[in-house]
Structure 1
Amino acid sequence: MDTNSPDVTTDAPAAEPAGQAPEEIRHLIQQWKRLDELLAGLKRDDWIAPTPLPGWTVRDVVAHVAGTEHMLAGETVPDIELPASAREYVLNPIAELNEKFVQEARPLAVEDAFEDFRDVVAERTEQLSEMSAADLEAETDSPVGRVPFRRFMGVRVFDCWIHEDDIRQAIGMQHHLGGDIGRFAVGEIVTALPRIVGKKAAAPDGSRVRFRVTGEAGTDLPLATDVVVDGRAALADVDDTAQPTVELVFDTPTFVRAATGRIVAEPGSGVEISGDEDLGRTILGSLAFTI
């Protein structure tokens, strides 16, 4: 840890589920370790840096991640009244739940907030290690509906992955969106593209929208996929013999941050449009899909 960082140990939780844990579990534990390593290197002032999320500093993002894991560990949501200022950005029940954990943690010293994150991650790691295959396949409520618990943990990978980027962006660090975790997590965005194109952007029947994300395989998330509207929108393999109605070419951080509502992407700033520019701009304005 940086010499100006809180005086806490830098030993990250090491336990992992034994045997062949599902990739969702393996990626989640690895993503917690990545967050731990990032937080261990922060200077004290970094913890109060504003993030792209309205009203939240770095320490608030950490409190949110920890709070969600506290809830999954079986703890109750804090019974507190939110301040009026939070109502400017708390717009739905899930956001209200998240904000209660954030508000509860605000009086904590930075050292204690970091320790709380580590403690709950260690607890959750142990819980996951004790779950049977049947436990992981049991259906549970989640932000994406009622799904197997394992699938819910995939959503947790995505959430922790994007919050790592929020922290990096807040303190001016290079993004770390690629790698195995990134390739797994970006699937949440890709899965949402048909709804974005067909429902939110209302692309007309017969449209073929091509998404390309550029970058180096080791650090970024190069990908290419089409969304074809034929009665309803659906993902399709890129067909280079088929002329797309519109093609959007992004760099990795622009694609991820626009899809998660951190920014509104503009042509010429991390994304280029070719083809039907009006449809392309409508899609860009509709890209955010997270709650």
Structure 2
Amino acid sequence: MVDLTALLADLAAESEQLDALVAPLPPQAWTRPTPAPGWTVGHQIAHLAWTDEMARLAATDVDAFYASVTSAPDVSRLVDDGAEQFLAPPAELLARWRAGRAALIDALTAVPAGDKLPWYGTRMSPASMATARIMETWAHGEDVADALGVTRAPTDRLRHVAHLGFRTLGHGFAAHGRALPTAPVRVELTAPDGDTWAFGPADAADRVTGPALDFCLLVTQRRHRADLALTATGATADEWLDVAQAFAGPPGTGREPRAASGAGAPA
């Protein structure tokens, strides 16, 4: 059985790590562009604050959650508009993000056992929602770190991101309009502490191997596969690395290979 308390503790820790990175920044650093086109450091934090609030609504007021979608002027711009709506001066935005993520943890803790929460195109258990929030907080934290030229040390919390990346194999294919694969895939990853994280049947012919950090960067579309030390064996595994997507919604645009785009060290 999934330990929701432990998941929520990891979500809080992931948020606190990013908080410690941005809290000391001078106001002008919050306007620095990140790898996400049109988004500054401030937009990244505003997006997390907005998404935390939407998740809290899903856990506490289903009607209000659905109303936030049906009342949107342009559903295709829901995410961008949410970030713009929550964007504020750094001190105000930090306070809102901190209060919102604490309220989300309280809300998820209070969801009755067995209940599923509405989300964009799906429904989630509180544990799945917490895992998704860990994934997004880490991924957007990578965008912020890239913008600031900071390399963050990976932690064991990446296991949640890696597991979600594995579980969403079918979603990646479906989001890109491709037939769902029938061949099982085995994933074997080297964890930050040198341990091995394995998902999928041990006897599967199709396999993905490599560093856990690289796999997480791939499934969150923070790096192109050409820039990562992942090895795919088998046609299904190889195709998956082109369409992997751990987050909900339509297919992401992904990132260009750094060599092809001319990207070097983050600006």
Please list every run of 5 or more consecutive structure 2 residues that lacks an aligned counterpart in the other structure. Answer: 58-63, 250-267
1:190 paired to 2:166: yes
Per the normalisation by structure 1, the TM-score is: 0.65
CA distance in 2, matches of 1:135, 1:194: 28
Q: Report matched runs for 1:132-211 at 5 Å.
A: 135-143=112-120, 145-179=122-156, 181-193=157-169, 196=172, 209-211=185-187
Instruction: Quote how far apart the aligned CAs of 1:259 are.
Output: 1.0
Deviation track 1:140-170 (CA, whole Å, cap 9, x = no partner) reads 2124722333432332222222222222222
CA contact (8 A) 1:31 1:157 kept: yes
Q: Is the 8 A contact 2:49 2:96 kept in 1?
A: yes
Shift of 1:66: 0.7
Superposition deviation, residue 34 in structure 1? 2.3
In terms of fraction of residues, the more helix-rich structure is 2
Q: How far is 1:208 from its partner?
A: 6.0
State the alpha-carbon separation in 1 of the partners of residues 8 and 121 from structure 2.
17
- How many angstroms does 1:254 deviate by? 2.6
Structure 1 residue 24 corresponds to structure 2 residue 4: no
Check conservation: 1:264, 1:284, Cα contact below 8 A. Answer: no
CA separation in 1, counterparts of 2:173 and 2:108?
Answer: 36
Structure number with the higher strand fraction is: 1
| TM-aligned CA distance change 1:178 to 1:194, over 3 Å | farther
Give 1:199 shift. Answer: 9.6
The answer on 1:115 being equivalent to 2:95 is yes
> 1:64 Cα shift?
0.8
Alpha-carbon distance, 1:103 to partner: 1.3
Distance in 2 of aligned mates of 1:121 and 1:96: 23
Q: 221, 234, 242: which is aligned to 1:285?
A: 242
Relative to 1, partners in 2 of residues 1:60 and 1:46: Cα closer, same or farther, differing over 3 Å? same
Query: Match of 2:212?
Result: 252
Q: Which runs of 5+ in 1 are unaligned?
A: 1-19, 83-92, 226-234
Pair 1:39 & 2:13 matched: no
Residues 165 and 244, structure 2, Cα contact 8 Å, conserved in 1: no
1:175–1:253 contact (8 Å) kept in structure 2: no
Please give the alpha-carbon distance, in whole angstroms, between the structure 1 residues aligned to 2:68 and 2:184. Answer: 44
Q: 1:100 aligns with which of 63, 77, 81?
A: 81
Quick one: which amino acid aligns to residue 95 of structure 2? Answer: E
Does the 8 Å contact 2:108/2:126 carry over to 1? Answer: no
Counterpart mapping for 1:61-100 below 5 A: 61-74=44-57, 77=68, 93=75, 96-100=77-81
Distance in 2 of aligned mates of 1:196 and 1:223: 21
Cα distance between partner residues in 2 of 1:30 and 1:137: 25
Contact map agreement 2:215 2:230 (CA 8 A) in 1: no
Change (3 A) 1:255 1:128: closer
Seen in structure 2, the aligned counterparts of structure 1 residues 204 and 22 have a Cα distance that, compared at 3 Å, is closer
Shift of 1:279: 5.6
Asked if structure 1 preserves the Cα contact closer than 8 Å seen for 2:208 and 2:237, the reply is yes
- Answer yes or no: is the 8 Å Cα contact 1:64–1:98 preserved in 2: yes
One-letter amino acid matched to 1:60? H
Q: Tell me if 1:261 matches 2:235.
A: no
Q: CA contact under 8 A between 1:67 and 1:101: conserved in structure 2?
A: yes
Displacement of 1:21 in angstroms is 5.8
Aligned to 2:32: 49
Residues 45 and 250 of structure 1, relative CA distance in 2, 3 Å threshold: farther
Task: Give the aligned length.
Answer: 236
- Asked if the contact 1:51–1:57 (Cα under 8 Å) also holds between the matched residues in 2, the reply is yes
Structure 1 pair 275–48 and aligned structure 2 pair: CA distance change class (3 A): same
**Contact preservation (8 Å) 2:192, 2:212:** no
